[in-house]
Amino acid sequence: MTSIRRLFLTLLAGLIVLGAGIMPTHADGPGAADDGVLSVLVATNEPYGTYHVKSMVDEVEEQGGRMALVAPDLDHVGDDSAVDVVTLDEAADWGADLLVVNGATEWPAAVVNELDTLPVVASSLAYLQPEEAEFAADIRERLVGATAQSADEADVFGAHLGVDPSQIEIVGNPSLDGLAPRDPRPGTVLIATSVTYPDETGGAAPGTELLLETAKELQAQGRHVRVGLHPREDPALWEGFEIAEEGTLAASATAEVVVGIPGSIFPQIAAVGTPLVAVMDPTMEVPDYLVALSAEASTVDEAVAAVGDAWRPRHAELESIVGPVGGSAERLWEAWGEAAESAPGVPGAGEGGPTPVSGDTDPSHDTPSPTSGSTSVGESEPTGQRGLPNTGI
């Protein structure tokens, strides 16, 4: 049954072959898992970002594989982390077949440079800016594959890496596997935070003051306000509100509307079917596709009015933004495994990976159905008004 399901998902995903050709794996080189077990190390833009790959843990265990995050140290990793973590000093002897990075920023580049015998796959796991990153060239020359969660995300990820987006495989978001049906509770509004203050674990986003004032006003008007915290947000900033202990995505299924700072959680909430209101700060920089999922507000009054309108995007908009729903963890693990198997046995040979961009492109993506395995995506038509003009970047 598993093999039939795997074949179905593979056909559904329309898996593409990255690059000019497939090169044989050297028997003693990277990607040659002698015991048949795929072992993957991951380096994320936020060096301690275990939450970016937490949704892959069950799939890795089911497939009998191994996965660990490479972090600078273990000081900022919680004891309850479901994701194995190793330091960069430990990584070389961990026995990896593949290194996965979710961007071309400083920490992933440092890991790529240190683990110079491993093939590299770039997998978009969180939103980035649509401009070539500082370390893109260093990572690009080592790539043997690339994945993204949706077509719109692939366009941005391609710009970030400096590769042709049409050669980025669309796999969906593993966090949406087994998506629970929406069951909104009357009067409930969820506040989706970002990170207010940057620290050694990562950066921050503007807009918390407006979001906090909006939450207070909604509560004063009799709404049941709950708060879904970003994994790195300081909960002390949200004292006086009920914290959604089940997490932002699960809590969004029981909310009538979600108000938040645009981020990687927005496409996931849109897949649930819950209307979104984006609180926009003038200094905010987010890709257009995130803001396209929501009504927009730059004042408390606009945010409160948008909650009442409960605008939702059209199905066609969701297709390219959310990506396929259902079986995404399996597709991503298969993509990693195929990349490891097809990798050359020497480092620095990225000929089998995505093609660097040379001029303007008009990419088309071979993408699985956004509703495979789920019926919650895009069932509704828009109601009310869109709000303010799109100010995303």
The arithmetic mean of pLDDT across residues 193-201, rounded, is: 58
- How far apart CA 27 and CA 223 sit, in angstroms, is 62
Give the rounded percent of residues in the chain with a pLDDT score beyond 90. 56
Q: What is the pLDDT of residue 208?
A: 81
The arithmetic mean of pLDDT across residues 235-260, rounded, is: 91
The arithmetic mean of pLDDT across residues 334-348, rounded, is: 78
The arithmetic mean of pLDDT across residues 269-290, rounded, is: 89
For the chain, the average pLDDT equals: 80
- Which of the two residues, 231 and 8, has the higher pLDDT score? 231
Q: Over 90: is that where the pLDDT of 202 sits?
A: no
Nearest to 68 by CA among 346, 328, 48: 48
- pLDDT tens digits, one per residue of 150-162: 999 999 999 999 9
Q: Over 50: is that where the pLDDT of 177 sits?
A: yes
Q: Over 80: is that where the pLDDT of 176 sits?
A: yes
Q: What is the pLDDT of residue 242?
A: 92
Q: What is the pLDDT of residue 101?
A: 98
Partners of 146 in the beta sheet? Answer: 122
- pLDDT tens digits, one per residue of 111-143: 999 999 999 999 999 889 899 999 999 999 999
Backbone angles phi, psi at 208, to 5 degrees: -65, -40
Which strand ranges, in their side-by-side order, compose the sheet holding 188-192?
A: 242-243, 224-228, 188-192, 257-260, 276-279, 295-297
- pLDDT tens digits, one per residue of 56-115: 999 999 999 999 999 999 987 876 579 999 999 999 999 999 999 999 999 999 999 999
- Can you give the pTM of this predicted structure? 0.77
The arithmetic mean of pLDDT across residues 258-279, rounded, is: 93
- pLDDT tens digits, one per residue of 36-45: 799 999 999 9
Cβ atoms of residues 270 and 293 within 8 Å: yes
Kindly indicate the confidence band of residue 203, based on its pLDDT and cuts at 50, 70 and 90: low
The helix/strand/coil state of 244 is coil
Q: What is the pLDDT of residue 231?
A: 73
Dihedral angle at the C-alpha atoms of 197, 386, 124, 336, nearest 10 degrees?
A: 140
Q: What is the pLDDT of residue 334?
A: 97
- pLDDT tens digits, one per residue of 300-320: 999 999 999 999 988 888 989
The full length of the chain comes to 393
Q: Over 80: is that where the pLDDT of 366 sits?
A: no
Which strand ranges, in their side-by-side order, compose the sheet holding 66-71?
A: 84-87, 66-71, 39-43, 98-101, 120-123, 143-148, 169-170
Give the rounded percent of residues in the chain with a pLDDT score beyond 70. 74
- How far apart CA 191 and CA 202 sit, in angstroms, is 21
Kindly indicate the confidence band of residue 362, based on its pLDDT and cuts at 50, 70 and 90: very low
> Which domains are seen in the chain, by residue range?
2-177+322-352 (3.40.50.2000), 188-319 (3.40.50.2000)
Q: Over 60: is that where the pLDDT of 331 sits?
A: yes
